[in-house]
């Protein structure tokens, strides 16, 4: 592969504290073998999430100084609104402090007890916000998503036949909104094709159901379309983004992903009456409609970031740097989800540690081993996260046991990634000696954040 350099220079640095294996043994023990409970300063390479962890540019830092902190009608608000309108094309823009606040407002006005909301795959907070108001969140991933090894280019697609069947079965009255998450985070950061977006939009229109896009990683998705879908190789990512949103009635966005914000989000629609009701909730929970949950300076930084994220050189570098890690792992025979997604690398922990039963948490064991080996922090997406049914208290293996290594934007260099690859390689070489884990205490809901673990052989 040709070397693709980071298309930026480093102007300000944040030192990383280096720890020894001995220190990490103590630190992870004190954190009850749950990487969420570590102090961030005790982590060498933090791949827990790509959300809110990006490096802002000198332009964005400069824009912070321009922030107009007027309560109402600030200059920064108009700059933010006009940028969102220009890229996303929606008339009504509602600023929120992050993505889940936009979801909470949207589902609060749209979803009722008994409603059904389909999505290619709901992110946890999307699902949580639908269930919170009594709705049912249904995942309809395409069949190709099941095969971790295939190189199918758009594994994030929705199964549109299943969507039509769901509508036929329940009737459009029960389905207040159809969502599509681009890229499909819970489905491995895999992209959704324009053909699939168009088809979901067509089905929604025929049924008279509003169609919304969860837009968190819209720029990465646009660049995947550019490189993988026929007819887009000469189209600029911003125009692919504009076409994407032209098929939708609205979107929710976490500006903590593809716009480099450390905080921020928004909700969009073309429906003025709906926006009026949403702003009434916004005023109670987030703030006045011209700042939502954000300071003027945040609005400025996001407006800059939204343009930078669509820069082709940045996007090519971004997708190639994730692919770089995935391809090296595949070459070494290490089980990893293929093809490379946008924001993260997903190790297949069940195949990495086949001697550990799913109910002995191979993903968690691998997360702890990567921390012990090299101070790398990542998150289990498997039986710890999804295995417990909070209503019956029954525990079952999740569909997959994955370990997500999410890559913050513009934060780590290729040598950091080489360090990660070497560490995974060393853990791979000694995989037969790694044992399973048990949970010692855990809450009933969202247990992965705070559960305590120990080694089975301890
Ligand atoms: N939708 C998707 C697809 C997400 O990935 C996230 C957040 C949200 C919505 C919620 O946005 O955090 O701004 O409230 N994902 C992060 C992650 C937390 O680590 O994948 P938020």
**Nearest-CA residue for atom 11 of ligand 1:** 99
pLDDT value of residue 78: 98
pLDDT one-digit tens code per residue, 240-259: 999 999 999 999 999 999 99
Give the pLDDT score at 1: 61
> How many Å apart are CA 155 and CA 143, to the nearest integer?
8
pLDDT digits (tens, 9 = 90+) for 49-102: 999 999 999 999 999 999 999 999 999 999 999 999 999 999 999 999 999 999
Question: What confidence score (pLDDT) does residue 319 get?
Answer: 96
Class of domain 58-308: alpha beta
Q: How far is the CA of 51 from the centre of ligand 1 (A)?
A: 7
Fold of 21-50+311-455: 3.90.1150
Centroid of ligand 1 to alpha carbon of 458 (angstroms): 35
Separation of CA 146 and ligand 1 centre (Å): 22
Task: Verify whether ligand 1 is closer than 6 Å to residue 201 (CB atom).
Answer: no
Residue stretches of the chain with pLDDT short of 70: 1
CB of 214 shorter than 6 A to ligand 1: yes
Residue 183 in contact with ligand 1 by CB distance below 6 A: no
Q: Name the closest-CA residue to atom 1, ligand 1.
A: 123
Task: Identify the CA nearest to 102 among candidates 284, 253, 211.
Answer: 253
- Residue 121, ligand 1, Cβ within 6 A: no
Rounded Cα gap, residues 253 and 97, in angstroms: 10
Single pTM value for the model: 0.96
Helix (H, G, I), strand (E, B) or coil at 162: helix
Taking CA atoms, 333 is separated from 329, 342, 407, in Å, by 6, 21, 21
Domains of the chain: which residue ranges? 21-50+311-455, 58-308
pLDDT digits (tens, 9 = 90+) for 404-413: 999 999 999 9
pLDDT at residue number 445: 78
Residue whose C-alpha is closest to residue 303's, from 267, 264, 270, 248:
264
Ligand 1 pocket test, candidate residues 124, 256, 385, most atoms within 8 A of CB: 256
What is the chain's mean pLDDT, rounded? 96
Instruction: Choose among 303, 318, 410: nearest CA to 9.
Output: 410
- Greatest distance between any 2 Cα atoms in the chain: 62
The region that residue 114 occupies, defined by phi over 0 for left and psi between -120 and 50 for alpha, beta otherwise, is left
* Closest residue to atom 2 of ligand 1, CA basis: 123
**Measuring from atom 4 of ligand 1, which residue has the nearest CA?**
123
Residue 75's H or E segment, with its range, is helix 75-88
């Amino acid at each position: 592969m040709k070397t693709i350099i980071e298309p930026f220079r480093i102007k300000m640095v944040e030192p990383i504290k280096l720890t020894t294996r001995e220190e990490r043994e103590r630190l992870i023990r004190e954190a009850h073998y749950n990487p969420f409970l570590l102090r961030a300063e005790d982590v060498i390479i933090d791949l827990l999430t790509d959300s809110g962890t990006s490096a802002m540019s000198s332009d964005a830092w400069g824009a912070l100084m321009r922030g107009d902190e007027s309560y109402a009608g600030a200059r920064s608000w108009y700059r933010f609104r006009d940028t969102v309108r220009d890229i996303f094309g929606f008339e009504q823009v509602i600023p929120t402090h992050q993505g889940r606040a936009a979801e909470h407002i949207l589902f609060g006005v749209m979803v009722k007890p008994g409603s059904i909301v389909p999505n290619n795959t709901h992110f946890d907070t999307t699902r949580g916000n639908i269930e919170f108001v009594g709705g049912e969140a249904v995942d309809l991933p395409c069949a190709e998503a099941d095969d971790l090894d295939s190189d199918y280019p758009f594994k994030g697609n929705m199964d549109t036949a299943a969507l039509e069947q769901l509508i036929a079965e329940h009737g459009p009255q029960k389905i207040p909104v159809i969502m599509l998450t681009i890229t499909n985070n819970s489905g491995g950061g895999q992209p959704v094709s324009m053909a699939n977006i168009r088809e979901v939009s067509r089905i929604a229109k025929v049924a008279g159901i509003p169609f919304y896009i969860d837009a968190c990683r819209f720029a990465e998705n646009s660049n995947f379309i550019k490189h993988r879908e026929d007819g887009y190789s000469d189209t600029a990512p911003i125009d692919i983004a504009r076409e994407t949103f032209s098929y939708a009635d609205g979107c929710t966005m976490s500006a903590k992903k593809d716009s480099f914000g450390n905080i921020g989000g928004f909700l969009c629609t073309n429906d003025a009456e709906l926006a009026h009701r949403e702003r009434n909730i916004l005023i109670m929970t987030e703030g006045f409609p011209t700042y939502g949950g954000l300071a003027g300076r945040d609005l400025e930084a996001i407006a800059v970031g939204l343009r930078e994220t669509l820069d082709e050189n940045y996007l090519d570098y971004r997708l190639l740097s994730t692919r770089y890690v995935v391809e090296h792992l595949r070459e070494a025979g290490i089980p990893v989800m293929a093809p490379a997604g946008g924001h993260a690398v997903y190790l297949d922990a069940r195949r990495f540690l086949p001697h550990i039963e799913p109910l002995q948490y191979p993903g968690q064991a691998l997360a702890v081993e990567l921390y012990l080996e090299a101070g790398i922090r990542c998150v289990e997406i498997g039986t710890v996260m999804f295995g417990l049914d909070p209503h019956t208290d029954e525990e079952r293996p999740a569909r997959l046991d994955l370990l997500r290594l999410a890559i913050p934007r513009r934060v780590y260099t290729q040598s950091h990634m080489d360090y990660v690859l070497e560490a995974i390689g060393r853990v791979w070489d000694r995989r037969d000696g790694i044992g399973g884990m048990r949970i010692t205490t855990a809450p009933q809901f969202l247990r992965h954040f705070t559960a305590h673990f120990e080694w089975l052989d301890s």
